[in-house]
A and B are shown apart, each in its own frame.
Chain A
Amino acid sequence: MSQQIIFFILAAITLTSAVVVVTIRNLFHAALALMVSFLGVAGIYVLLEAPFLGMAQLLVYIGAISILIIFAIMMTRRLMQTNESPFNSQAVGALVGAALALVILFVVIIRLYPMAPGDGVGQSAMAVDPAILQSSVARMGRSFVSAEAYVLPFEVASVLLLAALVGSIVIAWPRRGEEDNQ
């Protein structure tokens, strides 16, 4: 019961701030709402007994991505002074499309999984030994570096990060001769 209350609070925080992110005109406030939404999702992870992922969410999304977004907003601020609409010409179509996608997803989910809380599969979290959940981070770490599991995706991900690091520096670096208009 208390879990359900926490779930509803977290879901309300996440969804409300997500709606604010996509509708508000002031981009800085949109970024703040985005942070709140990330925080709500981190809470959902903790509720799902994956605290490692919740903390990684805080570290990566709030500690890094939000800061990047806010810096980008500050560097490109001139265009946000206009009072025109924050939406483009296809906003209505987008709203209809997103609502349609939402309805389809909802119908599919409700058809596939029971909605009522209970003891069946999918009705409540699978009962496992708390020790297994406690050691899930250790198992995840081992499977990242074990040759039978995910060592290849892991290495690919690290190469991707390196490429993104180098790539974004190269892209954002001002070219010679451009410095005077900066």
Chain B
Amino acid sequence: MIPLSWYLLLSAALFCIGLYGVLARRNAIAILMGVELMLNAVNINLVAFWRYLTPDRSVGLVWATFVLTVAAAEAAVGLALVISVYRNRDSVIAEELDTLKN
């Protein structure tokens, strides 16, 4: 007997923690971790709505699986970029990668 709103609150809290990580961390890898937390929060929402509103259809599960797929692709490309940047610039601090600024 868990109300839907509890899951939504959990998801909102997880999303905001992830958001804080993305905005506040210096290290690019830590920023990626924040993004992963946010994607997880979104997925909790999708699955909760699926179970509470349309358990007889597969739409929620299907989109949650797509989010999972995209998260995997995002992590692979994101980390490859981080490693490539690290090779060229010797830094993974997001603030220091400001060549385009000047």
Contact = CB atoms under 8 A, between A and B. Distances in A.
Interface residues of B, number: 74
A133 B56 CA distance: 7
A89 B94 CA distance: 11
A72 B29 contact: yes
- Chain A interface residue bracket vs B: 35 or more
Contacts of B58: 136, 139-140, 143, 149
Contact of B20 (A22, A41, A64, A73): A22
Interface string A12-38: 001100110110000100110010011
Contacts of B56: 128, 132
29 contacts: A18-B17, A21-B17, A21-B34, A22-B30, A31-B33, A34-B33, A47-B2, A48-B51, A53-B64, A61-B40, A68-B76, A72-B83, A76-B92, A79-B92, A88-B94, A88-B95, A102-B13, A102-B16, A113-B4, A115-B3, A123-B1, A125-B2, A125-B51, A126-B53, A139-B57, A149-B62, A161-B72, A168-B79, A171-B80
